[in-house]
C-alpha cells in the first residue's frame, strides 16, 4: 500500500463504481490508501467495498441522469472530505443497432446517460476544482469514441461528443490547474455485453449482412449468460489510469489495450491517406486573387 501523504489526502469521485472499470478503479485506488466517493444507482452494490475501507470511502446513491442526485452527491463529497481531487465520469452503457433501427427514445436515453449526465457531473464538480486551482477529470470514452463501427453508431455518437467537449475543456481549464484525460478503452473483461448493452428490437433486413453477426453474437451471450473473454485486464486498466493521474504531464488521451491502439492507428492512417488524396480539391476552395483595375 502506498503511504505517501499526497495519495492519502487525494479524494476520488467515481461514477458507476459498482461494476466494470469503475469498480476495478475504486478498489485499486482504495488499496493504495486514497479516498473514494463511491457512487451507484443501487448503493447495495457498493456496500461491501465501503465496509472494507470504512475510513476512506463514502457510498452515495447516484443516478447520473438525475441532476438533483448529482448535486446532492457532490455536496456530500465536499461536506465529508472538503474537496474532490479526481473526478472519473465512468457510468454509461451501449446500444446495439443500425442508425435507422434505434428508436428516438432509445437515442435520447443513450445521450442522456452517456453525454448529458457526464456534462452535468463535471459542471457540478468544476466550481470546486476551480476554487482549489487543482484537480483531474477522467472522462471514460472508448475506442468507439475515436473509431465508429456499424451497429454501434448511436453509442459512438455519445462518445465522440464526450471527446469533443473534453478537448475544449482541457484548453479552458489547464490554465486553472485542472487536468483533463479522455480514456479510450478497447475490449476489457467487464461483462459489458451482459450488464451494459441494449439491443434494439427493430431489425431491418437490409442491414442484416452488415450487423447481423454482431447482433447474433450479442444475443447469444445475453441469452446463455456467457462470459466473453475480452483481452483487457480491468485491474491493469485501473493501474494505467492511476499512472496518468500521478503524472505531472498526463495525456489528453489515454488509449487502453492493444486492440484499441491498432484500431486508432488504422483510422489515423486512413484519414491521412484520404486527406492527402483530396488536398488539391480542398485547397482549391479559396477565393481567387482579386485583380484590381488600373
End-to-end CA distance of the chain: 81
Read off the DSSP letter of residue 144: G
159 classed as catalytic: yes
Q: How far is CA 213 from the centre of its chain?
A: 26
196 classed as catalytic: no
Q: 18, 155, 166, 179: which is the annotated catalytic residue?
A: 155
Q: 17, 141, 142, 166: which is the annotated catalytic residue?
A: 141
Question: Could you give the dihedral angle defined by the CA atoms of residues 78, 88, 70 and 42, in that order, rounded to the nearest 10 degrees?
Answer: -110
Read off the DSSP letter of residue 92: -
Q: 17, 18, 159, 179: which is the annotated catalytic residue?
A: 159
What distance in Å separates the CA atoms of residue 105 and residue 283, rounded to the nearest whole number? 41
Contact 59, 50 (CB under 8 A): yes
Q: Which of 222, 195, 252, 212 is nearest to 21 (CA)?
A: 195
What distance in Å separates the CA atoms of residue 53 and residue 127, rounded to the nearest whole number? 28
Q: Considering only CA atoms, give the Rg of the chain.
A: 21
155 classed as catalytic: yes
Active-site annotation, residues: 141, 155, 159
Amino acid at each position: 500500500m502506498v503511504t505517501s501523504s499526497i495519495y492519502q489526502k487525494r479524494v476520488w469521485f467515481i461514477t458507476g463504481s459498482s461494476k466494470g472499470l469503475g469498480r476495478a478503479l475504486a478498489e485499486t485506488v482504495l488499496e493504495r490508501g486514497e479516498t473514494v466517493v463511491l457512487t451507484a444507482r443501487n448503493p447495495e452494490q457498493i456496500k461491501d467495498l465501503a465496509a472494507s475501507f470504512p475510513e476512506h470511502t463514502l457510498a452515495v446513491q447516484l443516478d447520473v441522469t438525475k441532476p438533483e442526485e448529482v448535486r446532492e452527491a457532490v455536496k456530500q463529497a465536499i461536506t465529508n472530505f472538503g474537496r474532490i481531487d479526481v473526478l472519473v465520469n465512468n457510468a454509461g452503457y451501449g446500444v446495439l443497432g443500425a442508425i435507422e433501427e434505434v428508436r428516438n427514445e432509445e437515442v435520447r436515453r443513450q445521450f442522456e446517460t452517456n453525454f448529458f449526465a457526464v456534462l452535468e457531473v463535471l459542471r457540478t464538480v468544476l466550481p470546486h476544482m476551480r476554487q482549489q486551482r487543482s484537480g483531474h477529470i477522467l472522462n471514460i470514452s472508448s475506442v468507439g469514441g475515436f473509431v465508429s463501427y456499424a451497429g454501434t453508431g448511436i453509442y459512438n455518437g455519445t462518445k465522440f461528443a464526450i471527446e469533443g467537449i473534453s478537448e475544449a475543456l482541457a484548453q479552458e481549464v489547464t490554465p486553472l490547474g485542472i487536468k483533463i484525460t479522455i480514456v479510450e478503452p478497447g475490449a476489457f473483461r467487464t461483462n459489458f455485453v451482459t450488464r451494459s448493452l441494449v439491443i434494439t428490437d427493430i431489425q431491418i433486413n437490409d442491414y442484416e449482412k452488415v450487423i447481423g453477426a454482431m447482433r447474433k453474437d450479442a444475443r447469444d451471450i445475453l441469452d446463455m449468460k456467457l462470459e466473453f473473454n475480452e483481452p483487457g485486464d480491468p485491474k491493469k486498466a485501473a493501474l494505467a489510469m492511476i499512472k496518468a493521474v500521478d503524472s505531472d504531464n498526463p495525456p489528453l488521451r489515454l488509449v487502453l489495450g492493444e486492440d484499441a491502439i491498432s484500431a486508432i492507428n488504422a483510422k489515423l492512417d486512413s484519414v491521412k491517406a484520404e486527406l492527402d488524396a483530396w488536398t488539391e480539391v480542398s485547397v482549391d476552395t479559396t477565393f481567387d486573387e482579386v485583380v484590381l483595375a488600373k
